[in-house]
Every structure is written in C-alpha cells, then in structure tokens.
C-alpha cells in the first residue's frame, strides 16, 4: 500500500476482521453524461485502490438512469479513463439500466408493504408540501391510496398511460423528518424519452436514491463510497435496504471529500458548456481537467495517481492547488524522459570561423538520472539559438549572450558575438559570432569564463515542429464562468526548430526540452511531416511568481483606510494554500520580508533547501536572500538533484559573508564556482585568494590610487557634485578585485574626501 491507512481502509479492515464480509466489493458508479475529470480519478483511485489492496474487486457501473443526458461516447470515455489509470473492473461493465426490471420488482414489493405510494401532486405542490428546514412538511392526500390502487397506477405509469409529471412513486417515510431527504422521497418518475441502451422499453425511470442502494445490493457491493454531498442521502440508502428486508450482507455507504482544484472548473455540466461553446477544442482539450485532456497533454497515469495519493482521503472539502498536480508530473518526468534541445523562437547565428560540420555525442540524460543513452548532435557554421538568449543591451543580471559576454552552447563550444545584424525596422535578424575551438564541452582548455549554457540547434539539420504552449485555462483561482477564462491559455508556435534525433530516433513520446519544460508529441495531430508537441508543464511553477506580482500594493497612507482591510502581507498570504500559508507565517516570524517569504513558501523545493541550510547555520535572513536569488536561479535551469552544491555549502558561504570573510560581491563569484565544481566555498576562497580585505591600511593605498587617477572627478566632487561619492567607492571596490570590504571602503573614501 502506498499510503498511510485512511479512514476508509480502517473501516474495510475492521469489517474484514470482524467477518462482516468475506470479500471486499466496491464500485465506481459514474453517470455517463460527460467525460471523467480529475475528481473522478480520485474516486477511481479510492474504489479500485481499496479493492486491490484487500484482494477484492471493483465494479464499473454506469449510473444511467437519466435518459436525456447520457450517451455511449461517455461510456467509452469512462472505460478509457479507468484503464488508462491502470485499473481493471470486475467482470463486464455494468449498467443500472440492466437492473430496471429488478428495480421495478423492488418497487412493487415496497408498494405491497404499504411503504410506497403513487402521488399525483404536481412538481410545485410536491415542493410546497415538503416544508422547510424549520417547518415540518405535510403529506399528500394521495398517500392514503390503497395498495391495490397504487399497484394499478404504478403499472399504468410503466405502460405509458400517463404523461411526464402526472404521477410519481414515493416512499412513505416521514414528512416531518429533520432530514428533509427523508420526507417521502421520490422513487420513480415518468419520462417519455429514448434511452441510449434500453431504448423505448421504459417510460418510468428510477431516481438516484432508489436505484443506487439497490444496484449496490444486486452487485454484492460491500462498501459504497461516495462524495460528501450524499451524506444526507445515506438515511434513505439505509431505510430502503432495511425496509425491503433483503438477505444479508448488505452494503453501507461512506462519504469522503470531493476534490476541487483551483484555476479550473470541475463539474461535468460546466465542462460541457466549455466544450459546446467551443471555448476549447473538445473534451480532450489539453487545458481541461478531464482525464482525456491530461492524457493528450502528456500527463502520465503515474503522476495523476501520485497526486491522488498525496492529497489523501479526507472528510472535509477543500481546494487543492493545481501547482501540486504540476509538481507531480514534473517529479515523474524528471527521472524518466530524455533531454533534448528545441529552439522555440529561433534567431540565426553564423559562426564565421567555423568550417565544415561535426557530430557531437551528447547524453540524453543528466548524470544523476539512472538511465543511459545518447544521440549525435550535428554542429555547423549556422545554428539557431533562442531569441531571448541574446540581448544587445542587457540588464545587470543577464548571463547569456551579449555583444560583450560569451556564452556556452550546451554540449558544444563557447561562442562570442562579433556583430549584430538588423533589418530596417531595427529588429535583430542575425548574429555573427566566433567560436573558440578549444572550448568544447568535456575538453575545454580555453579558460574562458561563461555564466550560462544555452540550447541551440544546427540550422541545416534541425526539423521544423509545431509547439503548443498551454497555460491554465482560467486566470483566477476560483473561476465563476467563461468571463474568467485566461485569454493566453493556448499559444501556438508554428516554426520551432528541434534537433533531428527527436524526430528520427523517436526515443520516447515525452521529452524535456532543455530550459523550456516537458513536452509530449500530440497523439492526434502530429505526423512525421508535421510533428506537433504539446507542452506538458514548465520546469518550474511560473504562477508562484505571477501571484506575487499580482499582489496589491499596500494602501497609500494618504488614502482613507477602508474598514477591515487586511494588511498587504496578509493579502499575499491569502492566495496561498494551507501548507504555504503556514510556511509563510513562519518565515515572517524569522523576519524575512514578505516577498522573500512568499517565494520560499510557494516553492516546496526551495523551502526544504532553506530549512536544510538553516539547520546548518542559523542566519535566517541572509540565508533566505542567498537562496531565493542564487539557488533559485540555478534551480530554474536544472532539477535539485543536479545541483553540484548542497545546503550545507550554502550555509558555509553565507557564514563567510556574515563574518566578513568575503564580500557579498565575491560571494557571487564563489557561488558560480561552487555551482560548477561543487567545491566547498572555503576551498574556493582559499584557492583564488578571495578573502575580503577589511584592513584599512591595505585599502587606503587603493583609495589614494583611485583619487590620483581621476583628478577631474575629484575636483568636481570638491566643487559640490556629491553624486561622485558612489563613483569613487565603486572604483575602489573594482580596483581591489571586489575583495575590499565595502563598509571599510565607504568609511575611508568619506574620510579622505572630507580632508
């Protein structure tokens, strides 16, 4: 068993131990009126899972008592979903409609017992007579009909003598019951409609409350597990089975919490609206929470089942963060799928000093994944890189290719930009570059430093592919309807360029496109000539950040303060789930600012890394800052297992900043080294002589030198241009190779300038 014992399994075990049942029989009883969604997956996992864990069996029963909404295509979709999740139903698929004759007999039996009657009130009267929560109902005068009259009328109902709604069959229970469901519930109604299986054989159809318990009984079900909204129906369930005095053993009903997920709608009715209104491409649209949708998008059954396992079985309804589901699929694919390169928005790069071509062998898997295999990557003079991976005027923290910064081509060489070509509108159309022949990955002797590695493809050999980027279907956490649809939930890229092995070798259906996310070859639209890939999920949760950005700013002090308005920090927390909220509160207690606290709280990986680091060195704020910037950036590029450094080393690094051994600027360099070599920070600092200089006697000459070199600026400062203070501090830091302690520099510069 994969999980701790939940309350249902506890009950099942007790029932087996006490000998109440010899064998466990459960059932999954969907109404075939739509495609199953992830909520159904939870129910499937519970019902089939329990049967499997206790060597019993689980029936798949189509609860098809509503002729106007049901269809065989939904039956097929339900069967597919169960099989796809890896379960097998007992015997053949069952249908409630197959029990219609038997159910009819039970109804006759109830009438004969004086426990059911034909009522001739209309719908509205029935509602009125039912009373309210605070008021008892009153019984219809038709309840006094004799058994014979009831039998005769019921038979006529069945024979089609009456119109829809003229009569109903009701149980005779208690019109003043506290549980309103027990106020003479309806058992049968007249519906002159064609049923997709029984055709026109019946024009009376049993109601859920009547059909469900008896179908369970007919099938020998022991544990009838359903969702919480049926809690009040349990009394009818029991009443019917007991009143009919059926031979034991009989089934019992148990309820668990329905699954809800944020950023989506879940009921089949709402999903049907999206399908019928063409807001999506069909029931299997990869943005829908249907199992057909997840499957087409590239989710694995393992990920879905893991998710069901993680959320557990509870008795209180709650909404689960969709990020948790996304985590499960990422987690599953991370260890499984080959990594390849695909350029979504190609920018041509011509490497002018490269002639000819070569094949570079590159592993499909990172070294920490227990799988082996490699492909040959063609490399040549003309390649494509991602448009985003070049910037002519980069911001400070940009680590990819720029006119002044070389970059490594993943698995290949380091290149440097030599020229930027633009069209008449100023849009960059091509980069001219040079490569360093001795910088090849794995045998790099060039000594050239790069800050990141980018993906690329060889222009001639790359294949054109269509990429469908999916995002959440709704833009708000608790969508009301179509007005909340996310207009950017689908983006189609017609001409992405992918390395040829993906198409020619077809090693897998799913791939990680380096730095982009996980992708799945669309099972329907993809062809050899026109391959199509669906984005399954990104490499990390891009919404955690968006949420943060969406945080409303704190109210301006001048604005009148609305009553009951929570402070901004509490608002951040409002969009967090319970676990995240708990972490957030804890981090605020550690005095992290709310931005840092939110980032950590929303990212389980980062947060656990933080906790590990904290247990090594208790400096909550400095550690958090290092982790949400440097470590988080590394994690954007690779999974946590691929990091060369661990929490302990980060703790050592931060400690060296805290006790002024190194400056925070140097710490960045050390961090770069750590993330490449995995060496301890102290070792790196030692090796490279990076220890911070705090001794004023050593810094003083550097300050003097800077002043001497910049007599003009010195004069300007003395003439009143105080802005130049920063310039001098910066120059001194630079001239010290970043090693001077900034505080000491500040003090010295100030002192000397005031002289």
Give catalytic residue positions.
31, 258, 268
Q: Is 659 helix (H, G, I), strand (E, B) or coil?
A: coil
Check binding of 25 to ligand ATP (CB under 6 A). Answer: no
Q: Is 378 helix (H, G, I), strand (E, B) or coil?
A: strand
Q: Least distance from C-beta 271 to ligand ATP, angstroms?
A: 7
Check binding of 322 to ligand ATP (CB under 6 A). Answer: no
Q: Between residues 226 and 596, which has the closer beta carbon with respect to ligand ATP?
A: 226
Q: Between residues 258 and 648, which has the closer beta carbon with respect to ligand ATP?
A: 258
Check binding of 43 to ligand ATP (CB under 6 A). Answer: yes
Distances (CA, A) of 362 to 82, 339, 340, 533, 629: 39, 10, 9, 22, 30
The count of chain residues that interact with ligand ATP, using the rule CB under 6 A, is 15
What would the 3-class secondary structure string for 179-240 be? Answer: CHHHCCCEEEEECCCCECCCECCCCEEECHHHHHHHHHHHHCCCEEEEEHHHHHHHHHHHHH
Check binding of 258 to ligand ATP (CB under 6 A). Answer: yes
Q: How far apart are CA 534 and CA 540, in angstroms?
A: 17
Check binding of 663 to ligand ATP (CB under 6 A). Answer: no
Distances (CA, A) of 595 to 329, 548, 633: 27, 7, 16
Query: Which residues from 212-231 bind ligand ATP, rule CB under 6 A?
Result: 226-227
Check binding of 266 to ligand ATP (CB under 6 A). Answer: yes
Q: Least distance from C-beta 317 to ligand ATP, angstroms?
A: 9
Query: Which residues from 50-89 bind ligand ATP, rule CB under 6 A?
Result: 63
HSE-up of 86 (CA within 13 Å, CB side)? 11
Q: Which residue is nearest to ligand ATP (CB)?
A: 39
Give the residue, chosen from 50, 173, 259, 662, that forms a contact with ligand ATP under the rule CB under 6 A: 259
Give the residue, chosen from 9, 24, 29, 533, that forms a contact with ligand ATP under the rule CB under 6 A: 29
Give the residue, chosen from 15, 16, 20, 39, that forms a contact with ligand ATP under the rule CB under 6 A: 39
Query: Which residues from 728-747 bind ligand ATP, rule CB under 6 A?
Result: none
Q: Least distance from C-beta 226 to ligand ATP, angstroms?
A: 5
Q: Least distance from C-beta 178 to ligand ATP, angstroms?
A: 24
What lies within 8 Å, CB to CB, of 399 at 6+ separation is 405, 407, 451, 452
Using CB under 6 A, which of the segments 40-48, 363-371, 563-571, 744-752 binds ligand ATP?
Answer: 40-48
Query: Which residues from 268-297 bind ligand ATP, rule CB under 6 A?
Result: 268
Q: Between residues 41 and 745, which has the closer beta carbon with respect to ligand ATP?
A: 41
Q: How many residues does the chain have?
A: 755
> How far does CA 704 lie from the centroid of its chain?
58
Q: Which of 656, 585, 661, 594 is nearest to 626 (CA)?
A: 656
Q: Between residues 313 and 732, which has the closer beta carbon with respect to ligand ATP?
A: 313
Give the residue, chosen from 24, 25, 26, 40, that forms a contact with ligand ATP under the rule CB under 6 A: 40
Q: Least distance from C-beta 256 to ligand ATP, angstroms?
A: 7
- Is-contact 287 298, C-beta < 8 A? no
Q: How far apart are CA 429 and CA 435, in angstroms?
A: 19
What lies within 8 Å, CB to CB, of 606 at 6+ separation is 599, 600, 627, 628, 631, 632, 635
Q: Least distance from C-beta 199 to ligand ATP, angstroms?
A: 22
Q: Between residues 86 and 737, which has the closer beta carbon with respect to ligand ATP?
A: 86
Q: How far apart are CA 397 and CA 373, in angstroms?
A: 35
Distances (CA, A) of 268 to 82, 136, 275, 719: 17, 34, 10, 76
Using CB under 6 A, which of the segments 29-37, 149-157, 441-449, 568-576 binds ligand ATP?
Answer: 29-37
What lies within 8 Å, CB to CB, of 363 at 6+ separation is 372, 373, 374
Q: How far apart are CA 333 and CA 322, in angstroms?
A: 17
Q: Interface with ligand ATP by CB under 6 A: which residues?
A: 29-31, 39-40, 42-43, 63, 226-227, 258-259, 266-268
């Amino acid at each position: 068993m994969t999980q701790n014992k939940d309350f249902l399994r506890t009950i099942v075990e007790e029932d087996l131990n006490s000998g109440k049942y010899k064998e466990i029989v459960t059932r999954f009883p969907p109404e075939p009126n739509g495609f199953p969604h992830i909520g159904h997956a939870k129910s499937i996992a519970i019902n089939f899972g329990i049967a499997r864990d206790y060597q019993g069996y689980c029936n798949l029963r189509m609860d098809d008592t509503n002729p106007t909404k049901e269809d065989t295509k939904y039956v097929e979709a339900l069967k597919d979903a169960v099989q796809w999740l890896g379960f097998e139903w007992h015997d053949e698929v069952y249908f409630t409609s197959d029990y219609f004759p038997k159910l009819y007999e039970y109804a006759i039996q109830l009438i004969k017992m004086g426990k059911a009657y034909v009522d001739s009130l209309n719908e509205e009267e029935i509602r009125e007579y039912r009373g309210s929560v605070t008021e008892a109902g009153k019984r219809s005068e038709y309840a006094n009909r004799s058994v014979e009259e009831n039998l005769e009328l019921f038979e006529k109902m069945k024979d089609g003598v009456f119109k829809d709604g003229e009569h109903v069959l009701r149980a005779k229970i208690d019109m003043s019951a506290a549980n309103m469901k027990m106020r003479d519930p309806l058992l049968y109604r007249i519906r002159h409609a064609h049923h997709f299986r029984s055709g026109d054989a019946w024009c009376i159809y049993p109601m859920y409350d009547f059909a469900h318990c008896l179908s369970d009984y007919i099938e020998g079900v022991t544990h009838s597990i359903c969702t919480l909204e049926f809690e009040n129906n349990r009394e009818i369930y029991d009443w019917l089975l007991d009143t009919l005095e059926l031979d034991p053993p009989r089934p019992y009903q148990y309820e668990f919490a329905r699954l809800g997920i944020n950023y989506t709608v879940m009921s089949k009715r709402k999903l049907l609206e999206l399908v019928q209104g063409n807001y999506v491409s069909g029931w299997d649209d990869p943005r829908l929470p249907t199992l057909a949708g997840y499957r087409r998008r590239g989710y694995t059954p393992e990920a879905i089942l893991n998710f069901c396992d993680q959320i557990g079985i509870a008795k209180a309804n709650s909404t689960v963060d969709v990020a948790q589901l996304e985590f499960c699929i990422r987690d599953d694919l991370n260890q499984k799928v080959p990594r390849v390169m695909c350029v979504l928005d190609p920018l041509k790069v011509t490497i002018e000093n490269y002639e000819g071509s070569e094949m570079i062998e590159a592993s499909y898997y990172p070294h920490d994944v227990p799988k082996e295999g490699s492909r040959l990557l063609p490399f040549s003079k003309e390649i494509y890189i991602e448009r985003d991976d070049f910037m002519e005027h980069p911001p400070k923290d940009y680590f990819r290719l720029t006119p002044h910064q070389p970059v490594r081509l993943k698995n290949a060489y380091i290149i440097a930009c030599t020229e930027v070509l633009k069209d008449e509108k100023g849009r960059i159309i091509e980069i001219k570059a040079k490569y360093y022949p001795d910088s090849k990955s794995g045998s790099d002797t060039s000594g050239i430093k790069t800050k990141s590695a980018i993906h690329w493809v060889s222009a001639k050999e790359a294949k054109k592919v269509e990429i469908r980027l999916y995002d959440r279907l709704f833009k708000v956490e608790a969508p009301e309807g179509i007005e909340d649809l996310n207009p950017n939930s689908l983006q189609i890229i017609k001409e992405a360029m992918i390395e040829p092995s993906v198409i020619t070798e077809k090693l897998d259906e799913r791939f990680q496109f380096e730095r982009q996310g996980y992708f799945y070859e669309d099972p329907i639209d993809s062809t050899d000539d026109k391959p199509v890939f669906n984005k399954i999920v990104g490499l990390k949760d891009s919404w955690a950040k968006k949420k943060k950005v969406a945080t409303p700013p704190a109210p301006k002090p001048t604005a009148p303060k609305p009553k009951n308005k929570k402070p901004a920090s509490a608002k951040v927390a409002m969009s967090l789930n319970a676990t995240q909220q708990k972490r957030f509160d804890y981090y605020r207690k550690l005095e992290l600012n709310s931005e840092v606290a939110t980032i950590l709280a929303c990212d389980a990986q980062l947060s656990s890394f933080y906790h590990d680091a904290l247990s090594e060195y208790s400096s909550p704020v400095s550690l958090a800052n290092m982790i949400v910037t440097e470590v988080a950036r590394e994690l954007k590029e690779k999974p946590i297992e691929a990091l060369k450094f661990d929490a302990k080393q980060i703790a050592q690094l931060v400690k060296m900043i805290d006790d002024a051994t190194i400056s925070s600027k140097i710490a960045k360099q050390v961090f770069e080294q750590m993330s490449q070599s995995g060496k301890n920070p102290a070792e790196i600092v030692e090796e490279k002589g990076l220890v911070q200089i705090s001794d004023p006697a050593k810094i003083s000459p550097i300050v003097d030198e800077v002043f001497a070199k910049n007599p003009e600026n010195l004069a300007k400062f003395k003439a009143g241009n105080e802005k130049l203070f920063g310039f001098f501090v910066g120059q001194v830091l630079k001239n010290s190779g970043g090693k001077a302690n900034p505080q000491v520099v500040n003090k010295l510069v100030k002192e000397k300038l005031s002289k």
